[in-house]
A and B are shown apart, each in its own frame.
Chain A
Amino acid sequence: PHQKQQPQQNECQLEQLNALEPDNRIESEGGIIETWNPNNRQFRCAGVALSRCTLQRNSLRRPFYSNAPQEIFIQQGSGYFGMVFPGCPETFEEPQESEQRESRRIRESVQGESRRIRESEQGEGRRFRDSHQKVNRFREGDLIAVPTGTVFWMYNDQDTPVIAVSLIDTGSFQNQLDEMPRRFYLAGNQEQEFLQYQQQQVRGRGEQRRGREQQENEGGNIFSGFKRDFLEDALNVNRHIVDRLQGRNEDEEKGAIVKVRGGLSFVTPPERQSRHQGGSIIEEDEDEEDEWRRPHHQKSRRGEEEERPCRRGQKCERSN
């Protein structure tokens, strides 16, 4: 029943195709975001928009959501990402200090910062046990699927810069706005990467006054448009925290990607080692489901080695 939005008439009457490079670049404190013009006819015909994000070491792409589903391909590097699914519980829980042997907390040790955190924790009497939704590890070659409206963040904890290419399917039935890709940032007051193309479109329609007004107001996050008293009531926090949330603090010129001093700390299972087998690398951290589906080599009646899938309920020679 769900049909993809069809491109407008003549949008796909393309006589020639071109290989395109990104034509816009926004630099942030911790990296850059490059975008291809979604108003280009080739993109409009396909109903997609593309961007490329480069994250330096110890940099965090601040949380955002989009008006259409996304696929993100990790061209280079590795790190962590998180998605927040509305209504889902926080299933990653920090244990008591004594129980922390099993879980892994990543923290780059910068002495000053670690000391500051310890002091603030001591001030609270005991350490607060955090809980949050699932955090995942990504590495080169991974494809990450981000549903519409789901909050996404990513963090590079390695020396190699992370390069992530992301496609937004603006033609998807899940996008009920127009075909323009939109990022809704939860933090900062940076320009969102597709804003200038919206303005181009508005100007193209001759609505110059509205375009100018929009330009004057650009660069806020989803919280900055609410009045302070609304957010104080909704979050039950003081004005200082609301100012931070709205990106009103003085040093808030860091963009969509911020450098994290002292590294990040959150609970995540220990990484499993990859092992080499027959010249190929087998990752041991794949899902159990994948393990079941992986073909197992078995001898056929004729004595030849056959590749057969091992299904649930079947007796197969496999590790536990």
Chain B
Amino acid sequence: GLEETICTARLRQNIGSSSSPDIYNPEAGRIKTVTSFDLPALRWLRLSAEHGTLHRNAMFVPHYNLNANSAIYALRGRARLQVVNCNGNTVFDGELEAGRVLIVPQNFAVAAKSMSDRFQYVSFKTNDNAAIARLAGTQSTLSGVPMDVLAATYNMDRNEARQLKNNNLYKFLVPPRESERRAAA
């Protein structure tokens, strides 16, 4: 029965020009992921991928890969990326421009801000169901912690902890600030 399973398996899925991104904000950009749910063949390979486009000065919030290493390859434009290790050290703070790749190990925190009108990347991930945890924005790790626990953790008052939990209304992609948008225009 091999010919009914492996030989005819679907091995292709377009993510580069998808009209149905998984994450979309018209002011910030879009992200499309392909996992073994979308393309079952990836289960054998235990790999997945993500394609993203960020508008100028838009930001992908600080996050980490829970269960995968990733290789971010820049396709177009350039962006400023920062990566932090478990000791809180900056292990990368620089530009990633088209044609270059950056390896981000599992659990290292990473954030990106586009410096071009359109920064495009593809990120290869070493798990067929790679998942990320966000460190900022709604439903992030910070907003899942009780306010008092945050206040005690960071030695701040409740009002500051409330701001920390709620000020950013975006989940993944943060559009540029009004001042940055005006300057770009």
Contacts and interface: CB of A to CB of B under 8 A. Distances in A.
Interface in B7-43: 43
B139 interface: yes
Contacts, number: 227
Given A121-B158, A230-B113, A236 B168 contact: yes
A301 B8 CA distance: 58
A223 B82 CA distance: 11
Interface string B99-137: 000000111010101000000000000110001111111
Interface string A230-246: 11011111001100110
B72 interface: no
Contacts of B146: 82, 92, 130, 132, 135, 264-267
Interface stretch (A34-42, A214-222, A287-295): A214-222
Contacts of B105: 176-177
Given A82-B146, A192-B86, A234 B67 contact: no
Contacts of A130: 146-148, 162, 165
Contacts of B157: 116-117, 120
Interface residues of B, number: 65
A258 to B, nearest CB: 6
Given A1-B46, A82-B146, A155-B149, A67 B107 contact: yes
Interface stretch (A20-28, A46-54, A181-189, A305-313): A181-189
B163 A63 contact: no
Given A86-B132, A186-B153, A235-B136, A132 B145 contact: yes
A219 B40 CA distance: 42
B6 to A, nearest CB: 15
Contacts of A133: 144-145
Given A120-B159, A192-B86, A264-B146, A176 B67 contact: yes
A1 B43 CA distance: 9
Interface of B: 43, 46, 59, 61-62, 64-69, 82-91, 93, 105-107, 109, 111, 113, 126-127, 131-137, 139, 141-149, 152-160, 162-165, 167-169, 174, 177
Interface stretch (A8-16, A146-154, A159-167, A275-283): A146-154
Contacts of A254: 155
- Name which of B82, B93, B146 has the most chain A CB atoms within 10 A of its CB: B146
B82 A65 contact: no
B164 A237 contact: yes
Nearest to A263: B148
A88 to B, nearest CB: 7
A192 B87 contact: yes
Contacts of B59: 230, 233-234
A143 interface: no
13 contacts: A149-B64, A151-B145, A176-B126, A182-B107, A184-B109, A189-B88, A221-B88, A222-B109, A223-B84, A223-B109, A225-B83, A241-B163, A247-B88
